[in-house]
Structure 1
Amino acid sequence: MRSLPYLLPTLISSTLAYCPIPGPLLPPPVLAPALNLSGPAIDNSTFTSWHSKPWVDNTSFAITASLSGAELFHFEHIDPDYARNVSVCNTQFRIGSVTKIFTILAVLLSKDQIGWRDPITKYVDGLKGDVWDEVTIESLAGQTSGLGKNGYVGDLVYQGASVAALLNLPKAGNTIPNCDYAALDGVRVCTQNEVIELFNSPQWLPESPGTGPAYSNLAYNLLGIALAKAHGKSYEQVITDLITQPLGLDNTGFERNAKGGAILPNPGDNWWTADFANFNPTGGLWSSANDLLKVEQAILSNRFLSPSETRFWLKPASLTASLHQAVGAPWEIFRPDTLDTTYKRPIDLYTKEGDIPGYASYAILIPEYNVTIAIMVAGNQYSAAIHDLFPMIVEHLVPYTDNLARKQAERKYVGTYANSNDSIITVAQDSGPGLTITAWRNDGVDLRKSLSTLVGIPLNNFSIRLYPADPDSFAKTEKWRLSFEKIKNENSFADQDCQGWVHADNYRYIQERLDELLFTIDDGKAVEVNLPAWRTTLVRR
């Protein structure tokens, strides 16, 4: 049990740090003419650096982004050899593993039929062995099931004798079903019995479920079978009924749409365009940049799930060997700390990459700013292109939206609030996280000095920060969290002193939180501050 800080004041001075409570530092910005004070998100000069990339002349791509549901930016480029008479942002690309977002969203929308922690054996008949009872829907979704990556469709035997000779492998016998992988070349699709036989093969049984993460396409094939069983219809029809049809995604499906057209290979291109069949749940969709952006917007705007369900979904499921990466369901979570923001800190990027021969795509959600980005690429150098475009776009859009959030917060909240009893509070903005309180008196008592004494931080190293809290409350009245922090903090082992999340709600008085402040909003600006613990309301001057 964590000790209350006033019982151990000598410890508090070393454990409180200039370390924000997890979550957004400010409310996400919006695009509105009266509030947009930062100019264009990305101007055309940004793209001059792309002309030197070796892939630019033979690659087609579409990029589109939104902020709080409003278009923030779009750009498209097409290789003249693949030119079409429609917008590239409305043209179909193969999105590969970005399909996994659709699969997990369908599972979450099927909560009455599929339990997140249910064993997969509840929905997939024929799986044999006790280990399968330990493989849950959650572990399959979060890449911790212990399953291998691709099954027999990824076996090198399909690459021919030249690969075996290169690696000095023994001569192959005819022991692998000639289906699914070969289906990419027009050969038959594996039967349901052959699929289950794969999962029961000793070589492909899950190993130590709960370890990992280890990327598995097979895991999502099982989720697709579970969705079909739970709904009594094909997996493809489930995705249509639950997602693509409600959102009106005319350019998204498991077959190419003749209406919108697609970026397709020319003779000599080694691109995958065939039906993925049993592998549809893991990578079979075609979509456009604009359609994918609609899905991302629907996620962040809680179109399908409740706000709390969305927040639970946008959480890591496990960690990787990198300090800047984690794994979700199906998210590949990046936490760069080098982006050009006023207050340097990790920015959480919830992404999913798709990558198959000829095509690459990225879905990117940045919840802190309510930003969504869709990138589609097609070409013989698709992999190099997508890995250049992803950071390039993020490195421009994050500073823009961070600056916009700060400017809009300054206009909305910064100022002095007072009453007639010599009580004032001054909300300001500096280079630190969130907002700050630079002056605070209650009936003439200097509360900044009093609070620094309470938490054991010298006043010259003490800062009261303000961060949004309880986003579900943000309507006319907004709840914000006061955080009592050091301005400067000594280095500590593994950031041990960075424990802002531990110290929230440390103090209450007659049941009310000392660290809670409420803004009353009128016509887009804060007009009053309410301090529940002090039973005081202050009016903006």
Structure 2
Amino acid sequence: MAATTILQRLLLLALIVTSTLSAYCDAPSPAFPPPQLDSKTHASKLHKTTNRITRAVEDIINRDEFNTTHLSLEITSQFSGLLSLQHTARERSELRPGATRITDRSMYRIASMTKPFTVLALFQLQKAGKLDLDDPISLYLPELNTTGTGKGRGGLPFKDITLRALASQITGIPRDLAQQDVVNNPDEADRLGLPPLPDAGRFKGDYNLPECDQNVNYTRACNSTDLLGWVDQLSPLFAPNQKSTYSNLNFDLLGLVIAKVSDMTYEEYIEIEILREIGMNNTSFSTPPDDVAAVARGIEFYWPFEIGVQNPTGGLYSSSSEMSIWLRYVLSTFNAQATGVNWFNPTSFSGSLNSYYGMPFEIFRAKTKDVIFDTSNSTRPLTFVTKGGGLPGYTSNVVMIPEYGLGITILIAGDGKALSEILQAVTEEMVAFAEQAALDELWHRYAGVFNDPASNSTMVIAVSNHDGLHITHFISNSRDVKAAIDREDEQMVFHLMPTLLFANEEKQRGERWRIMPQKRRSSAGGKGKASVWDNFCVSDVSWIMYAGKPVNEVVFWGGGVGEGQRVGEVELTGFRKVLGRQEEEKSGEVALGLVEQF
């Protein structure tokens, strides 16, 4: 066999970012560093985008069905706010009117959006050496081992349930402190064909329901005794770490652990060590004053109701402006909160091919072209890191899109049906804007012709909405590198993928990227699905080395940081050469394929 054929086969095996069974995989992600969405360069497009969002949201919330609904919507980059939109219900409560005008400082019950604060407390306490995420909860709450076997009377295997599993919704513990029990709603029980029950001994006596929360018409919040007594009689839905299922009880139990190891109440720890530290000075577990209250009409009694031991799962009050502070904090620190933890990574599968649970986020992935319906043909996956929340009269949602450094907050007091429409309108517009902003920045900062005349080496870097930043032309020492890798019967794209690392981490200089050759998925178009394994793809970012240096590493140097800067040099680590940017009037960019249709 010819030496060149052996080399070609070796390169193909090492370079193609697919499994041996897969034919075509989606474009790699991330495809670019998060764009500067709040820069002057994008100001005009941002203004048009937020105007369209404002009109769309106002069209929704002004419908008669939402006459009693308050709304706060904010969009932020990881650096600063991009849009703040507030709506005051046209018909406010007469029993408890609350704020006369909704602003970005108006307070809502944010419900399960409290859970990420509980998880952040775990990260901090692990870093302080006060707990370990992989310890069983029974180590911290030995009272759960009531039989001495690691199981309560109901059979929950607490000795096998770790703090990490609790935070990741993969314990098999049922959902609630009896809030799902329809014994409190006889009409619903009758509609379902359930048999009637005697009134006598309605609560603890006959039915073993905790005498708190809705079981006593919201006259008493549940406490730790209620919680431990309830979980002691529950049976598992699944074995720990077998399958994810949503459970508020997971976080109620974590709250007890946080209180025990911190020597503070759970509420004190969250407010002192997290909320005040990051500048959320008004967010609290205490009921806010009425003059800033977004009170849901028709369920006014629930506004001040304290939920006690359930605070770790849904007890916080906050505003859209302070949730934007939170989103900026998380977007800037999600990979630096705890050793061995990337907060945005999934921990288990959820209910569909593209849905996952995190710690405690609900994570969804979609192809860019399916989000930006009319302006993109990119198959690159986008990751939506979300957390929703709901309490009687209150609906909340945050969405983070780390590829863009983008965060969205929607807070509703009233009819929560508006959420899905509003979220759809905001997502489509903001992703389209952010994607184009990212492509514009790629074009200006990185695209161009780079060469080293002494070694007859040239690299042409282009941008398109389908392929992102990619190499269209690569000559090294008079050899066509692309031709050496690409076979005649394949259409390879040489993607460039940022690692978000730097050659000089201290000064944040020298951006490390990786070349990711890949077969074009579009080349399979019209042929139908060839195999059940077509979508089986595994990442392999590290391929062949040359004398200990990665052949596919590209380091961008020069140009500084910030708006309007362009890289001046491309270092090809494995090739041991540096290519300088060629002046555009001398480079023949169009002829070399640098300019592509977006």
> TM-score with structure 2 length normalisation?
0.81
**Partner Cα distance (1:406, 1:308) in 2:** 32
Q: Are 1:378 and 2:413 an aligned pair?
A: yes
AA at the equivalent of 2:395: A
Alignment of 1:166-185 (within 5 A): 166=191, 167-172=193-198, 173=201, 174-175=205-206, 176-177=208-209, 179-182=211-214, 185=217
Structure 1 pair 420–497 and aligned structure 2 pair: CA distance change class (3 A): same
Alignment partner of 2:250: what SS?
Answer: helix
For 1:539 and 1:187, the matched residues in 2 are separated by 73
Q: CA–CA distance in 1 between the matches of 2:272 and 2:283?
A: 13
Question: Could you say which residue in structure 1 is the equivalent of 2:580?
Answer: 539
Which residue identity is paired with 1:150?
D
**How does 1:37-56 map onto structure 2 within 5 Å?**
38-40=45-47, 41-43=49-51, 44-47=54-57, 49-50=59-60, 53=63, 55-56=65-66
- Residue of structure 1 equivalent to 2:271: 240
Q: Which moved more, 1:174-183 or 1:276-285?
A: 174-183
SS at 2:292 equivalent: coil
Matched, 1:64 2:88: no
| Structure 2 counterpart of 1:76, one-letter code | Q
What are the equivalent positions in structure 2 for 1:121-520 lying under 5 Å apart? 121-128=138-145, 129-130=149-150, 131-159=157-185, 161-166=186-191, 167-172=193-198, 173=201, 174-175=205-206, 176-177=208-209, 179-182=211-214, 185-201=217-233, 203-204=234-235, 207-258=238-289, 261-266=292-297, 271=302, 273-302=304-333, 306=336, 312-337=342-367, 338-340=370-372, 341-379=376-414, 381-382=415-416, 384-421=417-454, 422-452=456-486, 457-458=487-488, 461-471=491-501, 475-487=508-520, 488-490=522-524, 491-494=529-532, 496=534, 499=537, 501-502=539-540, 504-520=541-557
Instruction: Give distance in 2, aligned partners of 1:471 and 1:38.
Output: 29
Counterpart of 2:39, as a letter, is A
Superposed displacement of residue 177, structure 1: 4.9
**Which is further off, 78-87 or 280-289?**
78-87
Q: Alpha-carbon deviations, 1:520-540, whole Å to 9, x = none? A: 032321100000111110110
**Corresponding residue SS for 2:91:** helix
Q: Residues 334 and 268 of structure 1: is their aligned pair in 2 closer, same or farther, counting only changes over 3 Å?
A: closer
Deviation at 1:245, TM superposition (A): 1.0
Query: What's the offset of the Cα at 1:497?
Result: 5.9
2:558 corresponds to:
521
Task: Please say if residues 123 and 337 of structure 2, whose CA atoms lie closer than 8 Å, have aligned partners that are also in contact.
Answer: no
Distance in structure 2 (CA, Å) of the matches to 1:15 and 1:324: 21
Are the aligned partners of 1:300 and 1:310 in contact in 2 as well (CA < 8 Å)? no
> Take 2:61 and 2:298, find their aligned partners in 1: how far apart are those partners?
26
Show CA shifts across 1:415-463 (max 9, x none): 10112222111111123232111111122222221222xxxx3276122
507-516 vs 304-313, greater mean Cα deviation: 304-313
Q: Distance in 2 between matches of 1:198 and 1:75?
A: 42
- Greater mean deviation of Cα atoms: 128-137 or 10-19: 10-19
**8 Å Cα contact 1:183/1:189 also seen in 2:** no
- Secondary structure in 1 aligned to 2:379? coil
Aligned-partner SS, 1:372: strand
Deviation >6 Å, runs of 4+: 10-14
| Shift in Å, 1:376 | 0.3
Deviations 1:474-525 (A, max 9, x none): 72210111011123443453554653613x2221110111111110032321
CA-to-aligned-CA distance 1:195-232 (integer Å, 9 cap, x gap): 2221211x345641122211111111000001001101
One-letter amino acid of the structure 1 residue matched with residue 464 of structure 2 = D
Whole-angstrom distance in 2 between the partners of 1:460 and 1:206:
49
Aligned identity (percent) is 24
Aligned counterparts of 1:204 and 1:284: Cα–Cα separation in 2: 26
- Correspondence for 1:530: 571
Provide the alpha-carbon RMSD of the alignment.
Answer: 2.8
What is the aligned length?
Answer: 528
CA distance in 2, matches of 1:100, 1:371: 20
Could you tell me whether the CA contact under 8 Å between 1:20 and 1:483 is conserved in 2?
Answer: no
User: Aligned letter for 1:537?
Assistant: V
C-alpha separation in 1, matches of 2:122 and 2:272: 13
Distance in 2 of aligned mates of 1:117 and 1:194? 26
Q: Which amino acid aligns with 1:180?
A: C
User: Counterpart of 2:588?
Assistant: none
SS in structure 1 of the partner of residue 311 of structure 2: helix
1:218-260 alpha-carbon deviations (Å, 9 max, x no partner): 1110000010011011110110122111122133111122286
Q: Distance in 1 between matches of 2:8 and 2:170?
A: 38
Once the two structures are overlaid, the 10-residue window that deviates more, 100-109 or 261-270, is 261-270
**1:367 partner letter:** P
1 CA distance for matches of 2:335 and 2:179?
Answer: 35
Which whole-Å CA distance do the structure 2 matches of 1:51 and 1:316 have between them?
33
Residue 386 of structure 1 aligns with an amino acid whose one-letter code is L
Counterpart amino acid of 2:577? T
Q: What's the CA shift for 1:316?
A: 0.8
